[in-house]
Structure 1
């Protein structure tokens, strides 16, 4: 039963008698069965074994072990008998039918020991009785005189509160200890006592076009002030976010391949919850910020369906200034909340179509985690939708949280920016915008001059931005970029150079020493904050860091200059909210912390057995904050020991950067400290194969990490490795130095496949390889023959190939490694494929119409190949017959023949084409008779040619 929209004011409705009572009842009791933690949740728990298409009558009969007679069924269910006989979904049942259903299910679940502890003290029976009591009070409420209404409302509230307390107690094993429980029931109980009049008034304000327009304008001004511009390396180095936003590509994982979508389609699907995962620096927060700017029309609206929302509410999981969802609402609707109460305004908002945007689930603390749970619990049955971002290593925990709350969701991943054209477009936007302010030029030319192997490291927006910073400050040094750096570049060194350049001390070595001293203090602070799960920190903490820096600084303003390079203010959307600080990116904080640890390792004597634990334990003793880390528990991979003051999960990425830097700077020290490093990485949650793969992505050149990742993959029986993006090409290539698996399946766009990394993978692979090289729509005949050439000298065995081929050498390379393979070739130019004879079990060839002067290029005849001619236009008969006959095998037998056209083809022309082909001796193996089939949706045309040619060829339209 849906809650009616409060479109009329309470004053106007008060005189309508019965409607007023009904409306008051909805507002008093409605939350009971609309809240997923009440009646419908109980039904769902009690019907855990019910099939989705099974009616409730059939389900109860299955529980009792025998069917009802019609008389017994009516006696058992009364007025609910008809609807329970046909209904399969509890969402369609009102409170009367739900109570009836419980009355009929509970006894059988007790008898079958579903609630075996409930037999002697049947709390379930009391729950049903209390729900029935609430129902009776409801009926009395509708029948009573006005004078008795207030006392009955109090009785209903009391009864509801007691009933829900029993529900919590009864399901405590599931609801008190999991992520979806307890608090939701408490919230629902509190909602009973909300001021319904204030909710009505708030809804009227929020839903009224004139009032809502003013509210949005007020919020828009704050959004414009806080997030319209992006601060790069200082307060004076800013760009408009909309002007430089790069349109990210998203993928939905389909097992062995990824389905690519534009970011504008992110809300297009019907799922109420959308999760976007992306590695550090992949653009998750930027994506959400861009969507918010579009909603407030601060840049063109491109995201589909965004206009359907009444409001967009941003919540950042690193937030520490709010405790509840109503506090979040108060930040945006402060004036309205001060008049109506924040809880009442929240309740009104949940009746609208609102998009909740939750940024960086991986940064949650105790308070923000509670708010995330509240958003999930209170939105999934409303008209609201939720968009959440996270780093990959927290994806499973987020899935668990959504699953516990019975939430289905769509999951997207952010694609790396792999194509050179896209990398250049990203840089060009900044260059174009900043040139207006006389900033440095030529960053794209500098990037083009890098070798392709180095370009392949810059696949994340944060790395491309750092490249831009380095070019801006040190353009001459870009000419001789050192490959030995291993990763895109050393973030810490970059910021060190920027900081040194900003100081005015004449002596260069003095400037370097001063920056090193200050960065040591900042690095220690970064580690302490991360250790306690702090990504943002207060102004008091900022002043504390500044005071420490001032002690070291010779210049009065040195500490201010240096801090501005590394840190930035984070302005809240609320005008009254406190100001807080953060590093310019979380990666910067993690890198500074990692560098501090590495420097400490270098300073510790070689005799020290456990320097890393000593450093972290020392940090634990110095910190006094408990940042709260709800994701760090034993069930989700973060191990603790009696010597650890706090779980070490927040240091996961930091310690990966320690591995990266220490292995590069001192292989000898790295080898000596690796056993301790490995244990510490495990303490942060890097245990499973997926965790080590994530670590390997950061530390691709660290052999010990690659070896462990490969071993863990084998332990988990993953004898088929999937490669769907550039990151995975690098990690798989690294693991292949140590182990070989049954098969490797590469399924990705050819433009995303870096040739240097691909050569490493192919060169190290021994065994089966499935290779699918896709192209963007419209570029299906774009050949990447350079990707096939490395096959010649390899030890791979091609068992499946799907891609575009444009050179005879590529055919030779493919034929040299194919073995009983399924081969799907798109011919960019006319090619002789005879070398594939005996190398395939199935051959599918796609081609465009061949030139009129093309020579015969018969396909291999055994097994019979399939042929599809693309790009067929209206006057196609001669060209199609010419193409098919030139490619016909010696025996003129095809397995199948297909035509693809974007325009509607004449049936008579199709019939004439078939007759011409038949006259040339062309036949197909498939098809029981000669005919033409046109697939209705795709327009693909199947031509079946058998020996018998009817006088009139059938043309049949079929569904796909």
Structure 2
């Protein structure tokens, strides 16, 4: 045998032995030891109820509950113990913590010293192997583990005397498990997984570390480096109308929703969110602990093999191929982050298709970011039979001034040269008109505010809308380029400077038409040659360096996936879009003929250009209204081709261009819909504009938003109601839906209700607070056969209301003083489906609750008994004795609830609600009197 063959044989033998060692150690630490510790724990907890948590089990022996610090000290870092009711799925660390905690809680006469020593002896090697890689490759590690396990079982046999025979059987079973545990095929996979989780993970994390800092490229050419964790503002996401912390994206463990889609406008913080998730993964954040490895896929990636090689480098070579790495990843809990479906061209969709075609571990997750206009296409792609179910979230815009100010403070502290600047920035933003403040809904727009405040604060005084911010940002770029070129351009040639600037604008559009945001080295060289030709036209090639201009306009874009080749881009996609829009605007100013097709804007390419087109519309309408009239028909057609082919997209365009009433015409080009949703503050002005300037009408307007938000849009709300001719129905819901903000449900909404009198619309649903007779009168006039859910700021007469006889009529009130007089006008409308909620009854105040219910009780015709569909105490602090007295008193006063099938009179306690069930019949077993009252759980009767 040749020396090379012999060397190869030795290598393979060593490789095989190494794999066997790693597999034995992994199986021992993560399967065998937990398996037998779980059996021993069941012996220790023989008297534990199956549904009882270990915490409750320990507290039973302690005779007192754990305090917060005590419990954390007891369970250590093993948070699974908090809710665990069985040992299944618990690792060595958690199991050891349980043994230690239970022994301490029982505090019995048994001497547990030796047992704890043996338990520690099997725990410590696991810790060493997991934190010291050489131990995992040491064949002695498994041998020592076996010895310690058998020693533990020997000690357990003495400690758990009644289970001696069971433990003898366990020793035989352990011996069989050890002998049959090694399988060459499984070993290869185990070894590969281990190498990814050790060396591969180290390589990936080392690459991710460089993203702890972010280089902010400003339009004046300066670059400021900031630490991402310091400027990261905790982003909220939206699921339907619920605002949630971004960490909630990872709460669901359902394998049926393995894919998470996040859509957001340019500058909403999608990439920033992913980069901070990456940094959190390299740290110790709880919300990511279920994932073993993280893989980032950016818009330059073309295949999963490139992903594997980019992330894990030498590990691919060590394991023999990229495919071996991908196969190992399929066995692990992987978090895939795909940044920017909207930024992928046709070629690079390959990686997304590959990703979705493969079978990953059920606990893996794929998180994809996109823009709203592209989310529809992505959802169609994800809806194909081979793809798992997905959940769709949106980036939540900044809706509160407090959020905006916190964001400004974070960035200002990184940008400021002196401590006073952050306060000055904050104060200046607070001085803005509320309408202008509300236009800063995306993080990127607030960053622009900070930059312009720092570089040209005088410009801010001229701002009237968000379009002014973008315009000034563009001016900053032009000014900087001029400053750079003026020193080297012959005779300060303004035409050359303008020509060079337009080249970049043209290239920005050219790449967006191709749905690209990155320049390869070849692209950059081609752009440089184009600049050189322009410079040569002016005879300045020997004094003007095109490379200097490129460095001004483009930044190096290192690949997060670890690719060797650098790419280039504008500082942000939003800047690229502004430049592209400027090029179209420049062309339209110079020509009365259609120009869109000549610059590459066609029906096929419009889809990636909606933001650009909206910017063109705003600037052209604002600066050149007569030229706008000429080009509007083609712009409108292009917007339709960009995906504005349904009402929601059209309304979004109207909202983004508040000074362009012609935008409402887009709605007339979309299919009619039954219901228009007005769920955000910006929707109010948009729908008002549509009703004023378009022909389309819905049958129903659905206005669902917190009263405080609608109140800020009071002017637009009045305009909307005045323009409702042709709209038949209105839903007005003024309470927050799953809001994370504090809310006063008893603040009167009469100022929002009374303008309804100026509309011809019929109110079919109302959910809000009334506090005056005028508010009730307005509801009574427009709310015919309506669904009402009314909070009373103060008791008022509601008898004028005409609820739907077949639907619910619900009233909420706070308790009245038992000594306060009752106005007969407070009686609720006579309806068999009326429900009354009494909110916040204090401890011992059952008489106040009885007085309040009686004050609103109505009398059914031909009866002397008052009927409610339901009676509920919300947030009640009444004790069981108080509740007994309350239902007895209500029964005595002739008040009944619509529970004819129930037997008796009782209260059903359900968390923060107490349902009062009051019928004519009494408990079968009790005496004939209302004093027999049952306090039961709701599950016993509904």
Mean Cα deviation higher: 718-727 or 922-931? 922-931
TM-score (norm 1): 0.68
Pairing partner for 2:829 from 858, 861, 872: 861
Q: Which residue is 1:226 aligned to? A: 211
Q: Which residue is 2:275 aligned to? A: 289
Structure 1 residues 907 and 455: alpha-carbon distance in aligned structure 2, compared to 1, 3 A threshold: same
Preserved contact between residue 776 and residue 798 of structure 2 (Cα < 8 Å): no
Pairing partner for 2:787 from 822, 825, 841: 822
Q: Which residue is 1:263 aligned to? A: 246
Shift of 1:496: 1.3
Q: What is the CA–CA distance in structure 1 between the aligned matches of 2:598 and 2:206, rounded to whole Å?
A: 49
Shift of 1:722: 1.9
Shift of 1:393: 2.2
Q: What is the CA–CA distance in structure 1 between the aligned matches of 2:931 and 2:664, rounded to whole Å?
A: 67
Q: What is the CA–CA distance in structure 2 between the aligned matches of 1:847 and 1:558, rounded to whole Å?
A: 75
Q: Which residue is 2:304 aligned to? A: 325
Does the alignment pair 1:611 with 2:598? no
Mean Cα deviation higher: 422-431 or 490-499? 490-499
Q: Which residue is 1:461 aligned to? A: 443
Does the alignment pair 1:495 with 2:474? yes
Q: What is the CA–CA distance in structure 2 between the aligned matches of 1:836 and 1:473, rounded to whole Å?
A: 61
Shift of 1:752: 4.4
Q: What is the CA–CA distance in structure 1 between the aligned matches of 2:245 and 2:518, rounded to whole Å?
A: 31
Does the alignment pair 1:934 with 2:892? no
Structure 1 residues 588 and 893: alpha-carbon distance in aligned structure 2, compared to 1, 3 A threshold: farther
Does the alignment pair 1:848 with 2:814? yes
Shift of 1:398: 1.5
Q: Any residues of structure 2 matched to 1:10-25 within 5 Å, and which?
A: 11=17
Q: Any residues of structure 2 matched to 1:506-905 within 5 Å, and which?
A: 516-546=498-528, 566-575=553-562, 577-604=564-591, 606=592, 608=593, 610-616=594-600, 639-640=603-604, 647-714=605-672, 718-737=673-692, 738=694, 739-753=696-710, 754-755=712-713, 756-766=715-725, 767-775=728-736, 776=739, 778-781=742-745, 783=747, 785=749, 786-805=751-770, 810-827=775-792, 829-834=793-798, 836-838=800-802, 842-850=808-816, 855-856=821-822, 858-863=826-831, 865-889=834-858, 893-901=866-874
| Structure 1 unmatched ranges of 5 or more | 1-7, 20-195, 618-637, 641-646
Mean Cα deviation higher: 829-838 or 885-894? 885-894
Shift of 1:773: 2.0
Structure 1 residues 834 and 937: alpha-carbon distance in aligned structure 2, compared to 1, 3 A threshold: closer
Pairing partner for 1:417 from 398, 410, 413: 398
Deviations 1:579-599 (A, max 9, x none): 111122222211211110111
Q: What is the CA–CA distance in structure 1 between the aligned matches of 2:641 and 2:403, rounded to whole Å?
A: 38
Shift of 1:374: 0.6
Pairing partner for 2:463 from 472, 476, 481: 481
Preserved contact between residue 415 and residue 725 of structure 1 (Cα < 8 Å): no
Q: What is the CA–CA distance in structure 2 between the aligned matches of 1:477 and 1:674, rounded to whole Å?
A: 29
Q: What is the CA–CA distance in structure 1 between the aligned matches of 2:761 and 2:550, rounded to whole Å?
A: 53
Deviations 1:194-232 (A, max 9, x none): xx9899557525436xx8355434433322213542525
Structure 1 residues 386 and 844: alpha-carbon distance in aligned structure 2, compared to 1, 3 A threshold: same
Higher relative contact order (CA 8 A, sep 6+): 1
Pairing partner for 1:918 from 884, 891, 912: 891
Structure 1 residues 821 and 529: alpha-carbon distance in aligned structure 2, compared to 1, 3 A threshold: same
Structure 1 residues 774 and 725: alpha-carbon distance in aligned structure 2, compared to 1, 3 A threshold: same
Structure 1 residues 923 and 369: alpha-carbon distance in aligned structure 2, compared to 1, 3 A threshold: same
Specify the SS of the correspondent of 1:465: helix
Preserved contact between residue 416 and residue 725 of structure 1 (Cα < 8 Å): no
Preserved contact between residue 779 and residue 801 of structure 2 (Cα < 8 Å): no
Preserved contact between residue 910 and residue 938 of structure 2 (Cα < 8 Å): yes
Shift of 1:376: 0.6
Pairing partner for 1:944 from 891, 907, 918: 918
Deviations 1:350-407 (A, max 9, x none): 2110011111111212332010011111145654211111122222322222222242
Pairing partner for 1:277 from 241, 263, 266: 263
Specify the SS of the correspondent of 1:367: coil
Preserved contact between residue 230 and residue 241 of structure 1 (Cα < 8 Å): no
Preserved contact between residue 458 and residue 488 of structure 1 (Cα < 8 Å): no
Preserved contact between residue 19 and residue 188 of structure 2 (Cα < 8 Å): no
Deviations 1:519-568 (A, max 9, x none): 32211110111122221112343354456557559997897777566532
Structure 1 residues 236 and 14: alpha-carbon distance in aligned structure 2, compared to 1, 3 A threshold: closer
RMSD: 3.8
Shift of 1:774: 2.5
Q: What is the CA–CA distance in structure 1 between the aligned matches of 2:831 and 2:882, rounded to whole Å?
A: 30
Preserved contact between residue 329 and residue 360 of structure 2 (Cα < 8 Å): no
Preserved contact between residue 350 and residue 383 of structure 1 (Cα < 8 Å): no
Shift of 1:289: 2.0
Structure 1 residues 787 and 547: alpha-carbon distance in aligned structure 2, compared to 1, 3 A threshold: farther
Deviations 1:578-624 (A, max 9, x none): 111112222221121111011111122x3x3x22222338xxxxxxx
Q: Give the count of matched residue pairs.
A: 725
Preserved contact between residue 220 and residue 296 of structure 1 (Cα < 8 Å): yes
Q: What is the CA–CA distance in structure 2 between the aligned matches of 1:565 and 1:758, rounded to whole Å?
A: 46
Shift of 1:326: 1.5
Q: What is the CA–CA distance in structure 2 between the aligned matches of 1:592 and 1:523, rounded to whole Å?
A: 5
Q: What is the CA–CA distance in structure 1 between the aligned matches of 2:194 and 2:495, rounded to whole Å?
A: 60
Shift of 1:272: 1.0
TM-score (norm 2): 0.69
Specify the SS of the correspondent of 1:677: helix
Q: What is the CA–CA distance in structure 2 between the aligned matches of 1:728 and 1:480, rounded to whole Å?
A: 26
Preserved contact between residue 861 and residue 893 of structure 1 (Cα < 8 Å): no
Shift of 1:414: 2.3
Q: Which residue is 2:44 aligned to? A: none
Preserved contact between residue 478 and residue 501 of structure 2 (Cα < 8 Å): no
Shift of 1:924: 3.5
